[in-house]
Amino acid sequence: MNARVGSFSAIQFSARSLLAFVLEPTQPLPQWFASLDEWLARSPSFFATKPVILQMSGLDISLKEYRDLLGDLALRHIRVMAAENTSRTLVGPHLPPVVAGGRVVDPLKLLEGEKPAAEAPIQAPAPAVNTSLFVDSNLRSGQSIHHPEGDVIIVGRVASGAEIVAGGSVHIYGALQGRVIAGVSGSGAARIFCKEARAELLCIGGAYVTAEEMDPKIEGRCVEVTLNGDELKIRILN
């Protein structure tokens, strides 16, 4: 009997570096969810299509509470891809896998030539963090830009209900009426510049200010927004 041996193509695989957002739930969970809902009310699409990791080091909960937590996040369209520092009792075939070795990388150090130390036999090249995205048009309500690799430069108006999420700084040469979230790659040195400030939300490094909280003096002015400790500093440029 003759057996036919088919030809097999080589299996191709590669490593890929992705930006993942890390959520760290804290007790009491109802209060934590209230803060999360407040954030999502101002930026409802922030976690859409983004990989999310749960940091569980400060949370001691039962398996049922963990399942409820994941379910409550899913109801908010936040799907958890993995968990860090979780208890052994919270591991199972129908739960997010456990990951380790993740660490925050400052994009400024990468720009200066420092590379993250190898933590695994296979390591993907770090994505370029100094890539600027230029948009030569207005951003309409409901539109969003997500560019974690670097700065975002808008030559036009950002309408109310529009959103910009950038790994670096954001420059808007026009009126800003929507939401801007800068520095999501971990750099506290990110800045926001806009020619005409009427923003719904300004955020750098987790610190944010809403339209209701902004000084009326800055409305319609050309401003620079920086992170000063845990607070935003808004400086009028003209």
Domain ranges for the chain, please list them: 21-103, 133-236
What stretches of the chain adopt beta strand conformation (E)? Answer: 21-23, 52-55, 80-84, 98-99, 133-135, 144-147, 152-154, 163-166, 170-176, 179-182, 192-197, 201-204, 207-210, 223-228, 231-236
What contacts 137, CB < 8 A, 6 or more positions away?
Answer: 155, 156
Per-residue model confidence (pLDDT) at position 197: 93
Least confident of 18-27, 53-62, 184-193, 194-203: 18-27
Amino acid sitting at position 137: S
pLDDT at 151: 93
User: What's the confidence (pLDDT) of residue 101?
Assistant: 60
CA distance 118 to 230: 31
Count of CB atoms situated within 10 Å of the CB of 187: 23
- pLDDT tens for 177-224 read 999 999 887 777 899 999 999 998 898 877 888 888 888 899 999 999
Q: Give domain 133-236's CATH architecture.
A: 3 Solenoid (2.160)
Which strand (E) or helix (H) includes residue 80?
strand 80-84
How much is the average pLDDT of 114-118?
Answer: 41
Domain at 21-103, CATH homologous superfamily: ACT domain (3.30.70.260)
> Which pLDDT belongs to residue 124?
34
- The residues, any chain, with a CB within 8 Å of residue 40's CB and separated by 6 or more, are 46, 47, 76
Average pLDDT over residues 11-24: 68
Q: What percent of the chain has pLDDT over 90?
A: 24
What is the residue-averaged pLDDT of the chain?
Answer: 78
Q: Tell me 208's DSSP state.
A: E
- State pTM to two decimals: 0.56
Please tell me which of 13-17, 21-25, 69-73, 114-118 the model is most confident about, judged by mean pLDDT.
69-73
What does the pLDDT average to over 57-83?
Answer: 86
Cα 152 to Cα 30, 45, 80, 172, 215: the distances in Å are 35, 18, 27, 8, 25
